[in-house]
Amino acid sequence: MEFLFDPNVAFVVLAAAFFTVIFALLTPGTGFLEILALILLTLVGYSVANMAVNPWAIVLLLAGVVLVIVALRRSWKWYFLAGSILSVIIGMLFVYKGAGSLLAMDPLLALFLSVGMGIFIWIMGHNTSAAFNLKPSSDPDQVIGLTGRALTDIAASGSVYVNGENWSAVANNRIPKGSQVVVLERTGLVLKVGIPEERKQNK
């Protein structure tokens, strides 16, 4: 595992962990992304524990990650998203201490991943904000009462296919993948679903 102590490798793993965590949060219940994120975060923790790091950069990075998650979940203004991107990039660049240089990793690698990360977060934030602010041509609550199919196991959260679209979903009780579901409520882009029997009981 000594290859993880190479600043370039450690930086790539850190960036990969960040991307995977964001994707896992935006598409909950897949299982694969959650497991991959856990593995990558474990590798990041291992490298951080065995390399010279800047504590302030770790704090800045964690704060930036929280801000990015909130920015992607809410209809935030562009300057909040820009601030969260800046916080993540600066924190990530300076997590590992350089030996006699400002950056521990290769400058070109740092530039490439930083620009890519900034563009990725900005696009995701813009699309999410647009989805929240979009004035629907029809009543979005029309999905309530419709039936669909669970694309993943749904415990606290998961994904469902309803009315020709994929939705993030939550449920009070565990619903196995492939089960028929009925939409009980809608909150933003998240549906609360249950099994058809629950709909009958609530009437």
Q: What is the pLDDT of residues 36-45, one digit of tens each?
A: 989 999 999 9
CB–CB of 139/41 below 8 Å? no
Q: Residues 100-122: what's their mean pLDDT?
A: 87
Candidates 3.30.465.10, 1.10.3370.10, 3.10.20.30, 2.40.50.140; CATH matching 140-202: 2.40.50.140
Name the residue ranges covered by the structural domains of the chain.
2-133, 140-202
Spell out a b/e string for 176-188, using b for 16 or more CB atoms within 10 Å of the CB, else e: eeebebbbbebee
pTM (predicted TM-score): 0.61
Rounded mean pLDDT of 51-63? 92
d(CA 193, CA 169) in angstroms, rounded, equals 7
